[in-house]
Structure 1
């Protein structure tokens, strides 16, 4: 299913939004973390907001992935501030696929946050993400899961400026996005020549179908039961990956695998849990990719 793709030329796009980014050494943030036993320390040479070395451990094309893959859910939400640049870059550096969620501000700017409200993960703002201005978003900070330093919020453009084309990423277009917003996000990816470098997810079958039609590797997220669509319908839509809940019975996971899909359950507590999965599983999502 992971067929060879032609290498796309990454185009340079004019940055639509500039804001000062405070350079912060990830190792300093890591010192504030009570490191879980068996957890790898964050790399000491990653500097926020400045060009860094390449990410040799994480391929930059989907066709180059070695299965099974470890998807760092929300950038490692149990280790780093959820959906922060610190988490995304540390995940990429250590060989994991950074995963992020796309929501939209009041002016339509795509930003990275899981919930459709700010309250659980952000300080400085509250309420629906779609009600926030870009200025309010920029002023907010992301809470640290273990009480460490907070992080700056991240827009889609900012993470693509940092990692786009450098590593394979796994963005999710969140439920509630209109068909126009799905196309808007895919247009951004097109402008940057990222069709070979992304696995794009959605819980919405029509969105997952559109993602595949637009030439991207599509991951259809499902729940703790098999999808309502038939396996043939999913395959005919061009969808290659299925992401069921970890609570889907093993027999049904195996049925998806035998139907020819790449199966990547969500969300495991740690990579150690993921490594206990059957050998035919092609990937898994985890909030802590470092604990093995």
Structure 2
């Protein structure tokens, strides 16, 4: 895994400007002529750039504009899965609506689908707001077209983990997803179900042994960027793909050691 720093396939050319989408012109068209991010995990080149929350410092957080722009420009769109009152999986990082949404407030699990659809996602730089996104809507737009990196958020029940994986199964997405969780049991279930599993950890090494993580079928580990380099290297030498979170820009990610296989960034466009 000791590979030279490089961007993923198709991104050697300068990325398109994010201006048009961030100006509120709606979701970008994604087709063969525009999509530069790989559509299968097996096609990834390292280090791969993961566009955290769809580029939360550039686009409205977890918006279709951010997801499609990320894919178009060669980055893997990352998103967080929470659940509404009726069990609908939706894409939002926090378990409350207040920080990122206009028009609704309170716990996401208390919102109806009607309330969710009526809300708007705030723009990080004061630009136009964007529509909220359900998991199904994101998969309708991008499923199988680009490697996506969804996180099943802490607090999801085992039944909800299975519910999300069932949705992925129905769409035949096992080859085109890296599915994340901070919960070891959930990360193991993800691997057991045949998905590439990324176990998110913190600024210290996980409590599970490397052998235990590997035996669970987990291939990727996502530690905090604050984990000491010596410990990042230990994870790498143990055979895991290592992808720290969250770098401010891609420029910061490209300063990482060459054996790092990926990184999460809130601004994948600034090199």
| Structure 1 residue ranges without an equivalent (≥5) | 2-37
Residue from 126, 129, 139 that aligns with 1:150: 129
- Alpha-carbon contact 2:222-2:244 (below 8 Å) kept: yes
Tell me the residue number matched to 1:167: 146
Any idea what the Cα deviations from partners look like across 1:212-237, whole Å, max 9, x if unmatched? 00000000000000000000000000
- Alpha-carbon contact 1:43-1:90 (below 8 Å) kept: no
Matched position secondary structure for 2:234: helix
Matched position secondary structure for 1:103: strand
- Alpha-carbon contact 1:58-1:96 (below 8 Å) kept: yes
Tell me the residue number matched to 2:17: 41
Tell me the residue number matched to 2:219: 240
- Alpha-carbon contact 1:39-1:291 (below 8 Å) kept: no
Give how far 1:269 is off.
0.2
- Kindly tell me the number of residue pairs found equivalent between the two proteins: 256
Give how far 1:41 is off.
1.1
Tell me the residue number matched to 1:141: 120
Shift of the 270–75 alpha-carbon distance from structure 1 to 2, 3 Å rule, reads same
Residue 70 in structure 1 maps to residue 44 in structure 2: no
Give how far 1:287 is off.
0.1
Shift of the 137–66 alpha-carbon distance from structure 1 to 2, 3 Å rule, reads same
Paired with 1:243 and 1:72, the residues of 2 have a C-alpha distance of 14
Residue from 31, 36, 43 that aligns with 1:53: 31
Tell me the residue number matched to 1:228: 207
Residue 105 in structure 1 maps to residue 81 in structure 2: no
Pairing of 1:255-270 with structure 2 (within 5 A) = 255-270=234-249
Paired with 1:39 and 1:186, the residues of 2 have a C-alpha distance of 32
Paired with 1:47 and 1:174, the residues of 2 have a C-alpha distance of 30
Residue 253 in structure 1 maps to residue 232 in structure 2: yes
Shift of the 39–67 alpha-carbon distance from structure 1 to 2, 3 Å rule, reads closer
Shift of the 68–268 alpha-carbon distance from structure 1 to 2, 3 Å rule, reads same
The CA RMSD measured in Å over matched residues stands at 1.8
Paired with 2:204 and 2:215, the residues of 1 have a C-alpha distance of 20
Give how far 1:57 is off.
1.0
